[in-house]
Chain A
Amino acid sequence: MTFLDNLISPYYTQVLIFVGIYIIMALGLNLITGVTGQLSLGHAAFMSIGAYTAALLSIKAGFPLWASLLSGAVMAGLFGVVLGFPTLRLTGDYLAIATLGFGEIMVVVFYNLKITGGALGLSPIPIKTNLVNVYLLVVLAVLVMYRLQHSRFGRALLAIREDEIAAESMGIHTTRYKILAFAIGSFFAGLGGGLYAHRVSYIAPGDFGFMKSIEILNMVVLGGLGSIPGAILGAGVLASIPEVLRGLRDYRMLFYGALLVAMMVFRPNGLLGGVNFRRLVLRTVRTLTGDRRPAGGDKTGVRG
């Protein structure tokens, strides 16, 4: 770690760590919203559950980092099951509405609970998150997500996204799959929350409001729904844009809002939505090696 510290200035280290944390959380939401097609507007609530659980275990029980992170993530996943169980049986926008409500409720609960420090928040949380452990977890998350999406489970989720009734008639237990996907996605949000808490050392309920959920959703939609490289790109771009726009000072959020509208109007499927990566790579390799055969289509239905 020390040799990395000398290579990268603390400012860039901080930005890169946040990008990594957002990639993990965006991958989680991508599984729920991108792959399974269930809109969640409360991802930050699961992030906050992970953050508070991990932070409390570190401070009060002296857990090592990995144990706190894991407990936080598992706790977020459990809450995912609890919230998903009644709401995911329904079709339509009910998950969106329930998660939105859940997010607002969690903020109020954290404001009022004694153990989480109420409005004052929790501090000091030991600073243990660094570039190495964040990016190790990013690689792990990408691998897990890739394996998940290209498994029987992932194909079932895609089928649910494309047509729930057809999926059901093919023998897919849609409710169980949706709850599982939601729980796994929430698990990753909780993991990101734990990493976040151990980086900033101070967390308060206001950090995890509706706008934070929206921020993560923007990353997934901007990158391209259902696309793992898309979620990574979206998180990378949107987590660093506020830093890039810092020169604009007060006009920063104004530009951010206008940029969101413009990006959606001109690229409604996201930056990488509908891009088939295997095909892209194959084509590039063939062009480079001078092979003129047309690239074979990947018919598995995984968009990009």
Chain B
Amino acid sequence: MIFELIVQQLVNGLTLGSTYALIALGYTMVYGIITLINFAHGEIYMVGAFVGLYLVTAMQWNLLAAMAGAMAFCMVMGIVIERVAYRPLRRSTRLSALISAIGVSIFLYSLMLLIRGAQPTRFPKIFPDRMLSLGVAEISLLQLFILAVSALLMIGLHYLVQKTRVGKAMRATSQDYDTAALMGIDVNQIISYTFAIGSSLAAAGGVLVGMYFNAVFPLMGYQAGLKAFAAAVLGGIGSIPGAMLGGVLLGVLEMLGVAIGLSSYRNAIAFTILILVLLIRPTGLMGRQIQRKV
């Protein structure tokens, strides 16, 4: 009985964790390249969920097309935000870029509050409530869909970053910004790409979570953004596999925490784990060791 409960929570945690991972990837990629904690990322995820919802309900698109639409929309939004709010601050202190990001975040959720109000909107039911048996646990069709989509997107990202020219340029830029520029890489363009990719992954995460919890609301980016950021740091900020691992791990641990009766402390679980891990391994689970240079 206990064993079955744990396996069941493992399945739930894996589903939740893969959505955290999708959001965490955007944090980690942006941080890896311009060392900015992009606090507007949670709001991009929220906007993605709303765009997906709009395309499914008002435009009657099918789910996959709506998801692609939301991803494309947020891609453009990510590029525009970087142009307007971060690029002018590239050469000033990191703190001013951070405050600018917070400004964007406040702007976006207030805008959505004005348009949609604070009440959550329900996502139309697309998947039937059928549960597939896994022997000891059950998995719903929706959970299966979330896992499959997240896995596909992450494999796609891995391919993009490891095997293509753009990916190579991204890795070079994150390793050494100035040297990459000297090697003839258009750094500004690479940063735009990074924001575009990160934002589209967040949008996909937004649509998936909107369906999973059956609620889309303007403040949904706040907790999800903070937790995904925690996941990115847990995995080692700047590391793409780290963000995936951190996201899945946090999701699983959170659900296990709920299972053992810590549900009222649910939002504290992620951060407690984060602080504990940082004390033992400051660079996160898969982070690079940073050489201190004089």
Show the binding face of A for B, using Cβ within 8 Å. Answer: 33, 39, 86-87, 90-94, 96-98, 100-102, 104-105, 107-109, 111-112, 165-166, 210, 214, 217-218, 221-222, 225, 250-254, 256-261, 264-265, 268-270
Contact = CB atoms under 8 A, between A and B. Distances in A.
Interface residues of B, number: 45
6 contacts: A100-B229, A105-B275, A261-B104, A264-B85, A264-B89, A265-B89
B176 to A, nearest CB: 17
B226 A98 contact: no
Given A108-B265, A112-B265, A257-B103, A39 B110 contact: no
Contact of B99 (A91, A92, A218, A258): A218
A264 B100 contact: yes
A269 B96 contact: yes
Contacts, number: 122
A254 B95 contact: no
Given A90-B278, A98-B275, A268-B92, 19 more contacts: A33-B95, A93-B37, A94-B278, A96-B37, A104-B268, A105-B271, A108-B268, A217-B99, A222-B99, A225-B95, A250-B113, A254-B114, A257-B105, A261-B104, A264-B85, A264-B99, A264-B103, A265-B84, A269-B96
A218 B102 CA distance: 9
Nearest to A220: B95
Given A105-B272, A165-B294, A98 B264 contact: no
Nearest to A259: B103
Please indicate which of the listed interface residues A109, A214, A256 has the most CB atoms of chain B within 10 Å of its own CB.
A214
A101 B223 CA distance: 12
Contact of A254 (B110, B270, B274, B275): B110
Given A104-B267, A109-B268, A264 B97 contact: yes
Contacts of B104: 257, 261
Given A86-B279, A97-B233, A265-B89, A260 B268 contact: no
A296 B279 CA distance: 47
A12 B171 CA distance: 55
Given A97-B278, A101-B230, A218-B102, A264 B114 contact: no
Nearest to A86: B279
B133 interface: no
Contacts of A102: 271, 275
A90 B282 contact: yes
A222 B84 CA distance: 19
A166 B110 CA distance: 44
Contacts of A269: 92-93, 96
A108 B88 CA distance: 37
A264 B98 CA distance: 9
A236 to B, nearest CB: 17
Contacts of B92: 268-269
B15 to A, nearest CB: 23
A interface: dominant SS: helix
Nearest to A221: B99
A261 B103 contact: yes
Contacts of B271: 100-102, 104-105
A214 B267 CA distance: 19
B88 A265 contact: yes
B132 interface: no
A268 B294 contact: no
B106 interface: yes
Contact of A261 (B93, B100, B114, B279): B100
Contacts of A260: 99-100, 102-103, 106
B290 interface: yes
A193 B84 CA distance: 36
Nearest to B274: A101
Nearest to A109: B268
Contacts of B103: 256-261, 264
A258 B97 contact: no
Contacts of A218: 99, 102
B40 to A, nearest CB: 10
A105 B268 contact: yes
Contacts of B95: 33, 39, 221, 225
Given A101-B274, A225-B93, A269-B93, A257 B106 contact: yes
B106 A268 contact: no
Given A165-B292, A257-B110, A268 B268 contact: no
